Amino acid sequence: MAGGSALDDLRAEASAFVDEHWDLDLTLGEWWERLARSGLGFPTWPEQWFGRGLGADALSALSELFRARRVVGAPGGLGQMMGGPVLMRHGNADQQQRHLWPLASGAESWCQFFSEPGSGSDLASAQTRAVRDGDEWVVNGQKVWTSGARTADRGMLLARVDMDAPKHRGLGYFIIPVEQPGIEIRPLKQMTGDAHFNEVFFTDARVADADLVGRPGDGWAAAVTTLAFERSGRAGVVGVPIAQGTGVRRRDLRQRKLGELVERDRVFAVAPQDARNPGPSGPLSPVSLIVEPGANRTDPLRQQVVRYYVQSRVNSMTQQRARADVAAGRGAGPASSITKLARSVATRMNRDLGPAILGAAGMLVGSQAPHGGAIAHATLQAPSTSIAGGTDEVQHNILGERVLGLPREPQVDRDVPFRELKVGTVRAEATKGNTKEER
């Protein structure tokens, strides 16, 4: 979006929209629908899909205005951050027509069925199978580390559709309904005490062929796009998103009144940061903690806080560039890997700074602890940042090969039919002769 005057006009329009439509007696669902129809909730989305086709500067300007006006932002989540943009790029018109409105209006929450016990960083070796059965596909296999599966309406599923093709060329990308008898979800307890992740078992689960994104075998391209959006952060969503919470379904959250959410749940109490990703400013940032009464403020510690602030601000600018590239149709490019790595660095710095500033109190948990124990929670949560969305090691490889032009790592299995690979538990040599048996 070019020019300060254009941004000023957009701010004025958004402010007038808030004056006319923001009402604490509305339900969250009613507000989200008004916001979606206005195109202000997802300004980087195309106009035909409930956006404005604008750049990252417009997104930042609108987010600042919504926070200043204490207005709840557009619906957040993996569907809005990744699923919608992926469908705009790889989906067909029917899929876009059926799925983008439920995402823009917050009617649906999506999860991501990618990682498997034997296919983590090597995602292309996924073993979950999808077999065609008329107008449907039958899915069998297991996924793990799935965030939000217990409350999701649909999932972005990467499954193998061709065992005779090499691993990157035999995958399908599906939008699968989660609430069906063939899908069993088991929560995984983390050391934080939370259970955001789940392991998911597919036993003859079904998904319509109409919800296969692209052609059979094209799933890897859509998966790479999905991961690029995940690494570049909360792309395209204006304002302070509502925290759905573990065990709360989106359809139930939509029925609550805005006044109840704002007053009882204190939506804006720590906006726009939270305990797991405090960012360069806000009440849980080291920048804010170090000026609190009783905080440790030694010179070396103050210097570390400044380094943290600079690291976070530079990464925020890089994220904006990545989002602008995506909005312009150029793709996130290497910036998505750079921001992912920088976020890991900033998270580790925050992990160390919080307890250092608060001292022993930074190790306490519970409602009586400083900031409700959020500092200790962030310390325990920190390792996940360098794993989720592709490990730091994977990002280093991507940047080394695609940006620096270093030689690629040897991949002797890249052109081998998948059924011939010894990947995880996919197959084993039979005890008799040379017969190969699939497990």
Query: Of 41-55, 79-93, 377-391, which range is least confident?
Result: 377-391
Model confidence pLDDT, tens digit, residues 7-62: 999 999 999 999 999 999 999 999 999 999 999 999 989 999 999 998 878 888 89
CA distance 157 to 113: 5
What does the DSSP 8-state code read for residue 207?
A: E
Angstrom CA distances, 143 to 129, 155, 156, 366, stand at 11, 11, 12, 32
Which three-class secondary structure state does DSSP give residue 45?
A: coil
Q: What integer pLDDT is reported at residue 435 of this predicted model?
A: 36
Q: What integer pLDDT is reported at residue 292 of this predicted model?
A: 86
Mean pLDDT of 407-413: 83
More confident residue, 141 or 342: 141
Q: What integer pLDDT is reported at residue 251 of this predicted model?
A: 87
Cβ–Cβ under 8 Å, residues 380 and 365: no
Cβ–Cβ under 8 Å, residues 14 and 22: no
Pairing mode, if any, of strands 110-113 and 154-160?
parallel
Angstrom CA distances, 74 to 205, 235, 298, 301, stand at 32, 12, 41, 37
Angstrom CA distances, 364 to 330, 346, 349, stand at 46, 22, 19
Tokens at 358, concatenated: 């608060």
Pairing mode, if any, of strands 197-208 and 136-143?
antiparallel
- The phi, psi pair for 145, rounded to 5°, reads 60, 35
More confident residue, 373 or 432: 373
Mean pLDDT of 238-259: 77
Give the chain's radius of gyration (CA, Å).
Answer: 23
- Asked if the peptide bond before residue 272 counts as cis, ω within 30 degrees of 0, the response is yes
Indicate the average pLDDT of the chain.
85
CA distance 148 to 76: 12
Cβ–Cβ under 8 Å, residues 84 and 75: no
Tokens at 373, concatenated: 């124990």
Mean pLDDT of 104-124: 91
Q: What integer pLDDT is reported at residue 42 of this predicted model?
A: 93
Residues acting as catalytic residues: 230
Q: How many other β-carbons are positioned within 10 Å of the β-carbon of residue 47?
A: 10
Which three-class secondary structure state does DSSP give residue 287?
A: helix
Is the C-alpha dihedral spanning 230, 233, 237, 241 positive or negative? positive
Amino acid type, 431: T
pLDDT band at 296 (very low <50, low <70, confident <90, very high): confident
Model confidence pLDDT, tens digit, residues 305-329: 999 999 888 888 887 777 677 666 6
Judged against a pLDDT cut of 60, whether residue 356 lies above it is answered with yes
What does the DSSP 8-state code read for residue 282?
A: S
Instruction: Give the chain's length.
Output: 439
CA distance 182 to 159: 15
Mean pLDDT of 66-83: 90
Task: Supply the pTM of this predicted model.
Answer: 0.81
Judged against a pLDDT cut of 70, whether residue 245 lies above it is answered with no
Nearest C-alpha neighbor of 234 from the set 272, 184, 188: 272
Which three-class secondary structure state does DSSP give residue 192?
A: coil
Nearest C-alpha neighbor of 11 from the set 71, 75, 63, 70: 63
Q: What percent of the chain has pLDDT over 90?
A: 47
Q: What integer pLDDT is reported at residue 331 of this predicted model?
A: 63
Cβ–Cβ under 8 Å, residues 63 and 73: yes
Task: Give the end-to-end CA distance of the chain in Å, rounded to a whole number.
Answer: 53
Domains of the chain in sequence order: 108-223 (2.40.110.10), 273-402 (1.20.140.10)
Q: How many other β-carbons are positioned within 10 Å of the β-carbon of residue 23?
A: 12
Q: What integer pLDDT is reported at residue 274 of this predicted model?
A: 43
Distance of CA 237 to the CA centre of its chain: 12
